[in-house]
């Protein structure tokens, strides 16, 4: 799916159709299916028209009676200078320069053992230099993280709270100004926190395996690898994950739908469990018997809510700083991958079928993703934050297959999309 067709799809593509559920089930259970929205790149006005015909954001079903909570500014205002002096390039892998593969034709037939040994030695040195650069970047980024934490700690707030409520004129209950964070500061903090959490297990693997670390890492995946130390093949594997897991995800969606038709109990935590798997927060596609709900309570639910809140805060900062057009192609790609944008998944599936690698720095891919991302951001932030408890903010990003509470159904747009 390419061009205008690719730009017109919604963020998610696995919603259930009303036609698949019996009228009896709908009449006995007032649960409305949140259909994924179609997104058009024709114009901003057309995007707004589509949003008007969309089922309300799930966060709006948790409104309080009175607006008693702080507001969140998503419109542009002066952010000022960033706290961090480093750019986000240091949070990504450095360029891996490996020696050219040996060709038997250059040796008149078989490659001598001595030349093979020298080539493997140079290859190992290349990987060693690559990983050393990754370790150094984690250390330098850690210093930047400390500066960001010190600024945030002055107001006694969490990092996400500083993002939501930070303003040049905002004051907390003690009369202190709430620190203002730029998107670069926030992403630097998020990515460095992630890398620090992976540093110990990866260091153990690196200390044991040395130059053979890539072979081990490719076998165990990227779960124990900092962002700065992921080799190109590993990155491509991460990019392809949304496509690879799609069959399992669809199968579990069908099963969840069947469970809902029979008995609507325990649907909420099961769909959270499944969405956590789709967003790469939960390694399991379905709950383990007996232990599934315990696992979800202790692991996948906290991870899902944290993930959604990070996407929300990132989107707020993007909008404040001028929108997705102001971002680099890589930044737009990374936001789309973390959010789970269906437009990106479809594009990746096309590239995979054609045998092409994924280029996150492609301006063409950015032009495909931006219209869908902008419409998703508008939908995500179209919430009266004064009426939503802060602990429910994550719902603005979460797209439930079957919402916990019924939202106002818009049957015509629902069946059309």
Distance (Å) of CA 397 to CA 107, 132, 320, 368:
58, 37, 17, 21
Q: Is the pLDDT of residue 180 over 90?
A: no
Judged by phi (left if over 0) then psi (alpha if -120 to 50, else beta), residue 86 lies in: beta
Quick one: average pLDDT of 180-188?
92
| Whether 274 contacts 285, CB under 8 Å | yes
pLDDT of res. 296: 94
Q: Is the pLDDT of residue 48 over 70?
A: no
Mention every residue, 6+ apart, whose C-beta is less than 8 A from residue 249: 14, 274, 277, 278, 285
What is the rounded average pLDDT for all residues in the chain?
Answer: 80
pLDDT of res. 31: 29
Residue 101 CB neighbour total at 10 angstroms: 8
Quick one: average pLDDT of 177-203?
90
pLDDT of res. 245: 95
| Whether 386 contacts 68, CB under 8 Å | yes
Sign for the CA dihedral angle at 231, 233, 239, 242 comes to negative
| Bigger pLDDT: 348 vs 8 | 348
> Of 172-181, 214-223, 332-341, which gets the smallest average pLDDT?
172-181
Give the rounded distance of the alpha carbon of 383 from its chain centre: 20
Q: Identify the CA nearest to 228 among candidates 83, 95, 98, 361.
A: 95
Distance (Å) of CA 3 to CA 138, 169, 336:
38, 43, 17
Cα–Cα dist 370/333, whole Å: 9
| Bigger pLDDT: 99 vs 410 | 99
pLDDT of res. 104: 79
Cα–Cα dist 327/297, whole Å: 36
Encode pLDDT of 263-294 as tens digits. 766 788 999 999 999 999 999 999 988 899 99
Encode pLDDT of 301-317 as tens digits. 999 999 999 999 999 99
Cα–Cα dist 206/69, whole Å: 48
| Bigger pLDDT: 376 vs 55 | 376
pLDDT of res. 168: 62
Give the rounded distance of the alpha carbon of 359 from its chain centre: 17
| Bigger pLDDT: 209 vs 238 | 238
DSSP 218-277: HHH-STT--GGG--HHHHHHHHHHHHHTHHHHHHHHHHHHHHHHH--TTHHHHHHHHHHH
pLDDT of res. 134: 95
Encode pLDDT of 13-40 as tens digits. 333 332 233 323 333 332 223 333 333 3
Encode pLDDT of 289-300 as tens digits. 889 999 999 999
């Amino acid at each position: 799916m390419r061009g205008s067709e690719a730009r017109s799809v919604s963020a998610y593509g696995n919603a259930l159709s009303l036609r698949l559920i019996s009228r009896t089930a709908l009449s006995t259970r007032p649960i409305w299916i949140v259909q994924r929205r179609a997104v058009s790149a024709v114009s901003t006005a057309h995007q707004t028209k589509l949003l008007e015909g969309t089922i309300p954001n799930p966060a709006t079903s948790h409104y309080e009676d009175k607006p008693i909570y702080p507001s969140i500014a998503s419109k542009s205002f002066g952010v000022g200078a960033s706290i961090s002096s480093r750019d986000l390039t240091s949070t990504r892998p450095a360029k891996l320069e490996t020696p050219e593969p040996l060709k038997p034709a250059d040796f008149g037939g078989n490659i001598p053992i001595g030349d093979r040994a020298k080539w493997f030695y140079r290859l190992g040195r290349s990987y060693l230099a690559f990983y050393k650069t990754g370790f150094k970047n984690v250390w330098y980024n850690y210093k930047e993280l400390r500066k960001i934490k010190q600024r945030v700690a002055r107001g006694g707030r969490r990092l996400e709270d500083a993002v939501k409520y930070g303003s040049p004129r905002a004051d907390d209950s003690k009369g202190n100004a709430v620190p203002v964070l730029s998107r670069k500061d926030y992403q630097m903090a998020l990515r460095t926190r992630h890398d620090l959490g992976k540093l110990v297990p990866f260091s153990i693997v690196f200390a044991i395996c040395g130059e053979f670390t890539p072979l081990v890492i490719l076998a165990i995946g990227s779960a124990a690898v900092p962002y700065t130390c992921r080799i190109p093949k590993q990155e491509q594997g991460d990019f392809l994950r949304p496509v690879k897991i799609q069959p399992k995800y669809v199968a579990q969606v069908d099963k969840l739908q069947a469970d809902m038709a029979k008995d609507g109990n325990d649907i909420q935590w099961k769909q959270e469990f499944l969405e956590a798997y789709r967003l790469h927060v939960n390694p399991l596609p379905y709950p383990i018997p007996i232990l599934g709900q315990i696992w979800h309570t202790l692991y996948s639910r906290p991870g899902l809510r944290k993930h959604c809140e990070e996407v929300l805060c990132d989107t707020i900062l993007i909008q404040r700083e001028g929108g997705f057009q102001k971002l680099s192609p890589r930044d737009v790609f990374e936001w789309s991958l973390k959010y789970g944008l269906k437009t990106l998944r479809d594009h990746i599936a096309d590239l995979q079928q054609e045998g092409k690698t994924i280029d996150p720095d492609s301006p063409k891919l950015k032009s495909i993703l931006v219209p869908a991302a902008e419409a998703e951001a508008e939908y995500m932030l179209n919430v009266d934050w004064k009426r939503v408890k802060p602990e429910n903010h994550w719902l603005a990003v979460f797209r439930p297959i079957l919402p916990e509470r019924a939202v106002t159904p818009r049957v015509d747009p629902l069946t059309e999309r």
